[in-house]
Structure 1
Amino acid sequence: MRIRASVTVLSGALVLSSALVVPATAQAHAGPTTDDDTTITKVVVNGGKDIVLGTSAKKSFTATVTAADPDGIAGGWVALWHGTSFDEQDRDGVLLPAEEGSGLCVAADAQTSTCTVHFTVDPKSDMTKNSYAGTWHAYAIAYGRPSGSVSDGYAGSVHIKRNTTLTADASPEPVAHGRTITVKGTLTRANWETHKYAGLSNVSVKLQFRKSGTSTYKTLKTVTSGSGGAVKATTTATSDGYYRFSYAGTSATDAATSASDFVNVQ
């Protein structure tokens, strides 16, 4: 069986899953289908790093598919899809690359090549639902010579995350030794549906301190963000140093660390 995928390409756009027309065999089990000894060995999206989107700035990145065939690789292509499974009725979005057809392929040897495609994602037009944040899977195709090919609906994955911001302000400044220092801040997260940032509540945030003359931050305590993403923590002044807040993030929300605020202890 020789597989060729017919694809409606909307450059860098998020489209309904029905626009990705994939082979029936791939629809059925989503695992790799192969012919003529063509194999996909690796797919990498955005260099293996998370894709973080705010409310307006576009993000450009690449995806690569490395494949092998005894007679060489003629081409390769990658799309990203989101949903609960690869079945068409369970996919709610597909991101397609700018290339119409195969990306640029570079041969490692006579049998193996790596093909690269380019994406540009616009949070204003592509990420229209906050539920799109999280894991996106890579659907990859590689074409062997002269006509064999392979497709895999779960060839790789990437986390597309909502951007976060975090602030910290310590007071009083300066402070007497042994007195209480109060650190306040705000944790916000990009809302792709309103195109604005909103407070992120009920998540754990660490208060960290770096003593003057040292290079390492230590966690003093963990607090929970409140209404509107408000963060507040108190500690005892013992020495000059820098205070900051740190949020670990999730698979759908990016991590954030505030700028540090120096407090002089007298």
Structure 2
Amino acid sequence: MRKTAIGAALSGALALTALTGGGAQADEVWGGNTTIVDVSVNGGKDIAIGTQNTVTIKGSVTVSDPDGMDFARWVLWHGTDFFEPDAYSLQAGRTCADIDATTIKCAITATIDPQDLPGNSVAGKWYVAVDAYDKGNGGIAVNAYSTVLVKRYSRLSVNASPEPVAKGKTITVTGKLTRANWESFDYRAYTNQPVKLQFRKAGTSTYNTVKTVYTNSYGNLKTTVTASADGYWRYYFPGTTTTASAKATGDFVDVTGS
């Protein structure tokens, strides 16, 4: 696994400042009166990363300055020291367009390769660092403008049996919950996690939660329910701060005599 300086991902004034905390408080302002108007990362959604494929993250930065703006950008990073982050995103593209004489909006594309991550410890809260440059040699840098959750991708399976089954008889629903391991680069059992067993009656479009089942030491799930009507059974894992949510594809059970 590679771990390089964040300067390789983002150079200039942003790379010269250090994390001082304070949310969106500027870490450095030079010249001008640049204002960060809006920052969007991944549509406000969590970022889920597996074990093999590079993940592309899209977003934007809108900035304004009386002198007019040149460009703006963001980078994602994890750790306590901006100079020595544990992990960070790489910028893959930036396209800026004028909104008016003082304001621009820059579309940003960044990537995170799971093979570059140092381990599972970097799952969770990452910082969004932003810098912007006006046309009069001024600008602003904020190393912790906001945060985003970068999570380990999860997988969830389900099997309901027997099929078909007589009304009033027992249905056994099994499954397994696993999540990406950024050290072994495979999927490992996610143990002792609450997972919702849900049912969607045939002819309807909504799943309803029937009960909560916990994964065992192998990530396995097993419970029983009483057959009452034709429909689909699935497991749903709502996720945690370090692991993405997952929904199993519904398994249809034909209930005879219903």
Give 1:86 shift: 4.7
Question: In the alignment, does 2:115 pair up with 1:119?
Answer: no
2:45 paired with 1:22: no
1:133 aligns to what?
A: 123
Match of 1:58 among 43, 48, 54: 54
Report the counterpart of residue 242 of structure 2 in structure 1: 252
Q: In the superposition, relative to structure 1, how do residues 134 and 231 fare at CA in structure 2: closer, same or farther (>3 Å)?
A: same
- What corresponds to 1:208 in structure 2? 198
Q: CA deviation at 1:47?
A: 2.7
Q: Distance in 2 between matches of 1:115 and 1:92?
A: 26
Which residue of the other structure, out of 29, 36, 41, is the alignment partner of 2:37? 41
Query: Is residue 45–residue 156 contact of structure 1 (8 Å, CA) maintained in 2?
Result: no
For residue 93 of structure 1, the aligned residue among 73, 82, 87 is 87
Q: Secondary structure at the match of 1:227?
A: coil
Q: How high is the sequence identity, in percent, across the aligned residues?
A: 43
Counterpart-to-counterpart distance in 1, 2:32 and 2:81? 24
**8 Å CA contact 2:174, 2:223 repeated in 1:** yes
In 1, Cα distance between the equivalents of 2:245 and 2:56?
20
Moved more, 57-66 or 212-221: 57-66
**Among 74, 77, 80, which residue is 2:76 paired with?**
80
Q: Which has the higher strand share?
A: 2
| Deviation at residue 76 of structure 1 after TM alignment | 1.3
Specify every segment of 5 or more residues in structure 2 that has no aligned partner in the other structure, as ranges.
Answer: none
Gaps in structure 1 of 5+ consecutive residues:
1-12
State the TM-score, normalizing by the size of structure 2: 0.88
Question: Matched residue of 2:114: which SS?
Answer: coil
Q: Deviations over 1:178-233 (max 9, x none)?
A: 11111001111011110101111100001111111222111110010012210111
- Distance in 2 separating the partners of 1:149 and 1:27: 17
Shift of 1:98: 3.5
Q: Aligned equivalents of 2:255 and 2:185: distance in 1?
A: 42
Contact 1:15 1:95 in 2 (8 A): no
Q: C-alpha separation between the residues in 1 aligned to 2:127 and 2:192?
A: 29
C-alpha contact 2:89 2:111 (8 A) present in aligned 1: no
CA RMSD of superposed structures (Å): 2.1
The separation in 2 between residues aligned to 1:183 and 1:153, in whole angstroms, is 48
**In the comparison of the two structures, how many residue pairs are matched?**
247
C-alpha distance in 1 between matches for 2:123 and 2:21: 25
Q: CA deviation at 1:134?
A: 1.2
In 2, the alpha carbon distance for the partners of 1:108 and 1:96 equals 26
What is the match of residue 152 of structure 2?
162
SS at match of 1:98: strand
Provide the C-alpha distance between the structure 1 equivalents of 2:7 and 2:148, rounded to a whole number of angstroms.
21
State the alpha-carbon separation in 2 of the partners of residues 16 and 134 from structure 1. Answer: 20
Q: Secondary structure at the match of 2:92?
A: coil
- 2:217 pairs with 213, 222, 227, which one? 227
